[in-house]
Structure 1
């Protein structure tokens, strides 16, 4: 998968997540403010719980909206060996057993998985332990994650 296609799919996934969360937050808000959910005694907390849920979902929607804006403005650059891995790099890692995995060093949306099977790409950020180690690395460099060692075999 090339970086332009990956970026398009990340934006689409974030838009979808935001839409789902927006609807869930609206449903929780409607539940929290519904007349039949007004507390009748101190043990009747359905409205209160729904308001907490709506608040959390609204916060998460704002986080996704921010990530979406950042990705929509992200300019993808070709890999520059002099600078090494940077935000926007698609990195192929190989472990000591020869198994490969791809990670995209993005500005946000850590943990997002795009694709399937061998074409699966995991988004990581420079705030993650692996992301911190990848910044500035080049092809054939090693990075460690706990006891596991990875070799950088390709950077796009």
Structure 2
């Protein structure tokens, strides 16, 4: 029998497969901390709203996940998102390693790792291929993403 926190991770990604951001957000503790190479430090409602934004904007989306493992305190999973990046109309396959920390049956920390240069080559095309490795371009990607999240949150 799998640990309850492994079931929580599975529930989170099953909801993500359905673009059910409300169920995803319900897996998080109130003060959750989220980070990935684009959104480096989101907390609480910001993290939940990021999933709401991504689910609302998803186009040609699919998700698979596996290697779910968890114990009382920490867990991990591997997931792959396939989608159309709306800003360029390019298809992306993003392979992600996720790590979690838990408390009281909720996710308190969620850290996703992926290769931002690989992502930028797919999402941005030639510009991403030539410059996606460069810190100024990666910072521009982060600023654009945070701006989009702020606009999404303001409109809610």
Smaller-chain TM-score bracket: under 0.3
Which one has a larger percent strand, Structure 1 or Structure 2?
A: 2
TM-score normalised by L of structure 2: 0.27
Of structures 1 and 2, the one scoring higher in RCO (CA 8 A, sep 6+) is 2
TM-score normalised by L of structure 1: 0.27
State which structure, 1 or 2, has the greater radius of gyration over its C-alpha atoms: 1
